[in-house]
Copies of this chain bind each other. A is one copy, B any other.
Amino acid sequence: MAFDHREEHVDTGMLIIQANLDDMNPELTSYITDKLLEAGANDVYWIPIIMKKGRPGVMLNVLADEGKAGELEEVIFSETTTFGLRYVRADCHRLGREFILIETRWGAIHVKAAFHIGRMVQFAPEFKECEQAAKKHQVPLKQVYDEVRRLFLERRGE
């Protein structure tokens, strides 16, 4: 039933690349996030901050493998308004992962489960699949989530 699998592991040599932006049009943020993910970033997130003269800026954070830094810099310098970057080193501990297919009254939906030292510690319905089911069948998205979670727990309990 599982169609994907990844072992728990730690990635050393990761970078958090940061840039503080106090003069950028916020409309650009979602586009920049997508560009960075396409260019190989593992994760992209924005932190609201207060900069010099009390300006409400944002700090761009890009988590990436050290080997990807050159390509990501290229995107950051081209697409944002920053004059510089910071690199902070980080190690990343990633849980083992498995995808399980759950049959629901709105079709089959995957659940992503995560394992720590062999024990399942997380499970989460796939957002996009729930969203599509909610739209197609005109049911509240939260109801789809709840039902997938319920069915997953039920099956697991058997």
Hey, what's the 0/1 contact readout for A43-61 against B, CB within 8 Å counting as 1? 1111111111111111101
B45 in contact with A48 (CB, 8 Å): no
Chain A residues touching B, range: 35 or more
64-94 of chain A: CB within 8 A of chain B: 73-74, 77-94
Residues of B near A49 (CB, < 8 A) are 45-48, 61
Determine whether the beta carbon of B20 is less than 8 Å from that of A27: no
**Residue of A45, A84, A93 with highest tally of chain B CB at under 10 A:** A84
> A interface vs B, CB < 8 Å?
14, 16, 18, 20, 22-33, 37, 43-59, 61, 63, 73-74, 77-95, 97, 112, 114, 116, 121-122, 124, 127, 131, 134, 140-142, 145-147, 149-150, 153-154
Q: Which 3 A-B pairs have the closest CB atoms?
A: A54-B54, A46-B50, A84-B94
